[in-house]
Amino acid sequence: MAKGLAVAKIPRHACPMSEPFDLSIRGAEVITPQGRIRADVGVRDGVIAAIAPDLCCDHEVDATGKLLLPGGVDVHCHIEQMSGMGLMNADTFETATRSAAMGGTTTVVSFAAQAQGQSLRVAVDDYAARAKRGALVDHAFHIIVADASVDDLDDDLAALIAQGHRSIKLFTTYNIGVDDATILRVMAVAREAGALVCVHAENDAMLGLAKKALLARGMTAPKHHALSHPRLAEVEAVERMCRFAEFMDTPVMLFHISCAEALEAVRRARHRGVPIWAETCPHYLLSTAEVLDKDGVEGAKWMCSPPQRDRADARALWNGLGAEDLQVVSSDHAPYRYDNTGKLLAGPTPDFPDIANGMPGLEVRMPLMFDGFTQHGMSVEQMVQACCDTPARIYGLTGKGRIEVGYDADLVVWDRHARHTYGADDLHDNTGYNPWEGHDVIGWPQVVILRGEVIVQNGDCRAKAGQGRWIKRDAIGVGGAGQHRDLAFMEGGA
């Protein structure tokens, strides 16, 4: 049992017949922000209304002997999105969020990706319409800014932020990367409007040089993809974004930290008081670049960017989570089928630059982390912080990520002793393979509840397309006078 287990002495709660609960989850050990307690959880109108012993209700979920966790909050998912290579990924909002629900995740933040020449408003409206039709769980969007030359970009961005779209994504590389001036420009808008800037941080010139050298030597297999993304390319860009956040006093989230040196750059920046957060992903914690070294081009299934690194990096990332230098574990769900509609679009034996990057991850993130945190000497409470509560708080997802009165009744009953071995194609997305085939986990989501409604029970998904709601988010880190002297001239100071 995890350290810090506390059995709260809570007075018996009388359930007045005039205000019955719609549902109660009975007998579980409940993971709350205050610690573990043995209690029932009563739900009314989709919200947690009581946490107490012996709640009375006609509709109950018996969770005796189980853990009750908040629904997972996955804040980095590519859903029904066109890649920079012009390839639509494998999932619709319906298939992706069905997969999320089956894995214990009840809130996702995916991307509204701007195409070249497209207004941000049109991009967001397009993705919102798709999600409204298909999403089974609650959702929000990061706005990807890829073309800063469109008319009224700053005004559109500020207006969308004010409407509740409180995060922006920027790339420093690929054909959707933006230059430093654009990054600072977007940071300035975000700072004043109250939004978080998320960055895929790799140095484009370093990546280009490494790729060119590899191809010239005939090193074209999926295993060479890892060499084409040198760790220093990540480190340089991470350090640069930390300095940009420091200069602009703008909150920044650094996506998918993969190596020890990049983590150290984040740690140093946070120690200086820079408003920086950082995430990592299960594939950096639990695998290495060795997964790319397969017969033929099968390693393409595991290709992602940045690539997996080595065991020392994985150890550093686990330590970073324990020390809270890394705050979030997301999936970076980016599914492409291993066929001519996805990974093999360029032919049966493509060179690594012609292979779409990304893996499915929405369904496996919570079970992998429930098991992984335990195996690495950490508690379920710490896993809940990294996978539920902290991402909800950082991204302004009010009412999500914790079990507390007044929060949405997004709840997952976990069998902490259940063992599961992943199969070759046993996920509920549309990818057609499971990159975690053969991996064993201990702990499994048995019942998943979204706003008081059971949507998954014992492997049966009951949710309907369009059931999920868009989440209007609160302001994040609204700028003011700024904390850095370098900004004084921007605020009218001397």
Bond prior to 306 in cis (omega within 30° of 0): yes
In the chain, how many H helices and how many E strands? 12, 17
Taking alpha carbons only, the member of 424, 362, 409 closest to residue 387 is 362
Greatest alpha-carbon span in the chain? 77
> Would you tell me how many other CB atoms lie within 10 Å of the CB of residue 227?
16
Could you identify the residue written with the tokens 């200086």?
272
pLDDT of residue 83: 81
The string of DSSP letters for 255-310 reads: ----SHHHHHHHHHHHHTT--EEEEE-HHHHH--GGGG--STTGGGGG--SSPP--
- Find out if CATH 3.30.430.20 is the number for domain 72-393: no
Pairing mode, strands 252-254 and 196-200: parallel
Rounded to 10 degrees, what is the CA torsion of 332, 235, 375, 78? 0
What pLDDT digit, counting tens, does each position of 195-249 carry? Answer: 999 999 999 999 999 999 999 999 999 999 999 999 999 999 999 999 999 999 9
pLDDT of residue 477: 64
Integer Cα distance of 445 and 425 in angstroms: 19
pLDDT of residue 100: 98
Residues of the chain below pLDDT 70? 1-19, 477-494
As beta bridge partners, residue 448 has: 412, 456
Taking alpha carbons only, the member of 328, 279, 331, 289 closest to residue 312 is 289
pLDDT of residue 285: 98
Sign of the alpha-carbon dihedral angle for 19, 22, 28, 32: negative
pLDDT of residue 229: 98
pTM of the complete model beyond 0.85:
yes
Could you identify the residue written with the tokens 């209007």?
472
pLDDT of residue 86: 79
Instruction: Please list, in sequence order, all residues whose beta carbon lies within 8 angstroms of the beta carbon of residue 184, skipping any fewer than 6 positions away.
Output: 244, 247, 248
